Amino acid sequence: MKLETFLTETDIFTNTDIKLSKTTIGIISSMIPIIKEGDSLFKTAKFEIHSSKCTPRGENYNVIPTQVRQHIENNMPDKKCAKIVFTVRERNYQLYLIHENLSHNELKRRLRLIYVWLYLASHYANNKCSKNTNIYMYFTELVKTLPQSNGSIIDEMHANTAFTTSCLPETSIYLFRQEEWFKVFIHESFHNLGLDFSGIENISASKILDIFPVKSDVNLFETYCEMWAEIINVLFSAIYCEKSMPLIVAENNDDILDNFDKKIRLERRFSLFQCAKVLHFYGMEYKDLYEKTVGSIKKRTYNYKENTNVLSYYILKSIFMFYFNDFMEWCEKFSRGSLQFNENVIDQYCEFIQLRYKRGDFLQAIDSIEKWIDENEDGGVVWRTLRMTVTDV
On the question of pLDDT at 1 being above 70, the answer is no
What was the pLDDT predicted at 245?
76
Mean pLDDT of 343-372: 96
The DSSP element (H or E) to which 258 belongs, if any, is helix 253-281
pLDDT at 10 over 90: no
Check residue 12 and give its pLDDT: 84
The reported pLDDT for the residue numbered 304 is 96
CB neighbour list of residue 385: distance below 8 Å, 6 or more residues apart? 3, 143, 144, 145, 146
Which residues make beta-bridge pairs with 96?
83, 136
Q: How far apart are CA 261 and CA 256, in angstroms?
A: 9
The span from the CA of 258 to the CA of 244, in Å, is: 19
Segment 307-340, tens digit of pLDDT = 999 999 999 999 999 999 999 999 999 998 899 9
SS3 222: helix
- Give tens-digit pLDDT for 99-138: 998 999 999 999 999 999 999 999 999 999 999 999 999 9
Q: Residue 11: count other Cβ atoms within 10 Å of its Cβ.
A: 8
- Is 393's pLDDT higher than 80? yes
CA distance linking residue 167 with residue 130, whole number of Å:
7
Strands (E), the chain: 48-52, 80-88, 91-99, 132-138, 162-163, 170-175
| Average pLDDT estimate for 57-68 | 95
Q: Which range (7-21, 128-142, 181-195, 269-283) has the least confidence?
A: 7-21
Whether the per-residue pLDDT at 194 is higher than 90: the answer is yes
Average pLDDT over residues 143-152: 92
| pTM tops 0.75 | yes
Task: Give the H or E element holding residue 120.
Answer: helix 104-122
Instruction: Calculate the average pLDDT of the chain.
Output: 94
Query: Quick check: helix, strand or coil at residue 83?
Result: strand
Q: Which amino acid is at 104?
A: H
Mean pLDDT of 164-173: 95
Per residue in 213-259, pLDDT (tens digit) is: 999 999 999 999 999 999 999 999 999 976 667 889 999 999 999 99
Position 17 scores a pLDDT of: 81
Give Cβ neighbours of residue 27 (< 8 Å, ≥ 6 apart).
328, 331, 332, 337
